[in-house]
Structure formats: C-alpha cells, structure tokens
Amino acid sequence: MGGARGAHDLAPRAHLLPIVVGGLLIVFSFWWLYFERPGHEVLTSLTAAFVWGYGHYFVFAAAAAVGAGLAVSVDHATDRAAISAAGAAVAVPVALYLACLWFLHARSERSVATRVVAPLVVAGVLLTPFTGQAVLSTGLLMAGLTAFKVVQAGRRPAILAPSGE
C-alpha cells in the first residue's frame, strides 16, 4: 500500500519532469563546455589573461542566474508564482553564459564551424521561451551543442607527449 500511495503522491508532480531533465542537461552541458578548452590555450598574453579573468564575473553571474531561473520555472509550474516570463528566466542567463564562453574561448578556436555554431545556439536558446517547454528545449539545445563540440574535439589531431626514449 505504501508504494501505491507514493506513486499517487508523485503523479501531480509529473509535469515537473521536463524542467528536471532540461535543468540537468543545462547543468551538465555548462560543466562540459566550461572545461572543454584548457586555459593555457587561451591565456597567451597579459591582455588575454585580463579578459579571461574579468570575463568570468559574467560567466559565474550567468551560471548563478540559471539556478534562480530554474527555481522560478518550478514555482511557475507548481502555481506558486504567476510569472508569465518563467521560460526567459532560464533562457536569458543560459544565452549569456554561452555568449561569454564563446567570447572567452573563440580566440583559440581553430574550426570555423565551431566559431559559428555557438552564436546560432545562443539565438536558438533565446527563442525557447516561445515554446511550451522552455527549460527542456534549452537543455536539448545545450546537449546538442555539447555533442557537436565532442565530435569536433574528436576530429582534432591529438598532441602526443614526447616519449622518454
């Protein structure tokens, strides 16, 4: 009886599943995209280091705002808040995060496709509030960008460490 009651208690919360899945895709993509490019490839001068260091204020602020946006989306979905722009509360900080990473990493990108895809995904993310599931749509776009970057990284020639021989 306890298991059936637990399943019955979860049924009203099933509409939160797209927010949970989208939020996880966003967070995992944030992590991978942030650590995709080693810092030493970008930090080639004092000016680059200055831009890299201070650019992180925007990266970290956007990441924190995504967390607040996810909370707003959950409150909207559970009718705890009557916010008409709940999808934008996630999409705008995600777009800012991507734009900042693109700006910080683009200087060391070798592939033209990689330089172009990120701004296109930013534009797509900004359109997700017009869908019925903004958080899930944003998460799927982020997962797509991450998959693209993984494929691109696999195509780069590996740099072999010198052997001790």
Kindly state the tokens that stand for 110. Answer: 């070798």
Residue 159 lies in a domain: no
> What pLDDT digit, counting tens, does each position of 113-131 carry?
667 888 999 999 999 999 9
Quick one: CA dihedral 47, 101, 62, 99, positive or negative?
positive
**Cα of 143 vs its chain's centroid, Å:** 8
Evaluate whether 150 touches 137 at the Cβ level (below 8 Å). Answer: no
Residue 127 placed within a domain: yes
Please give the model's pTM, rounded to 2 decimal places.
0.82
82 occurs within a structural domain: yes
% pLDDT > 70, the chain: 82
Which of 83, 92, 96, 87 is closest to 137 using CA atoms? 87
DSSP 8-state symbol, 156: S
Domains in the chain, number: 1
Per-residue model confidence as pLDDT tens digits over 35-44: 887 777 777 8
Q: Where are the beta strands (DSSP E) in 11-112?
A: none
User: Does residue 90 fall inside a structural domain?
Assistant: yes
| Residue with tokens 């700006």, as numbered in its chain | 103
Residue 6, pLDDT score = 47
* H or E element in which residue 151 lies: helix 134-155
- Whether 143 is covered by a domain: the verdict is yes
Domain that holds residue 143: 16-34+44-147
**Is there a domain that residue 52 lies in?**
yes
Burial letters for 47-67: b for 16+ Cβ neighbours within 10 Å, e otherwise?
A: eeeebbeeeeebbeebbebbe
**73 in any annotated domain:** yes
Is residue 83 one of the residues assigned to a domain? yes
Question: CB atoms < 10 A from the CB of 127, how many?
Answer: 14
CB-based contacts of 123: which residues, under 8 Å, 6+ apart?
A: none
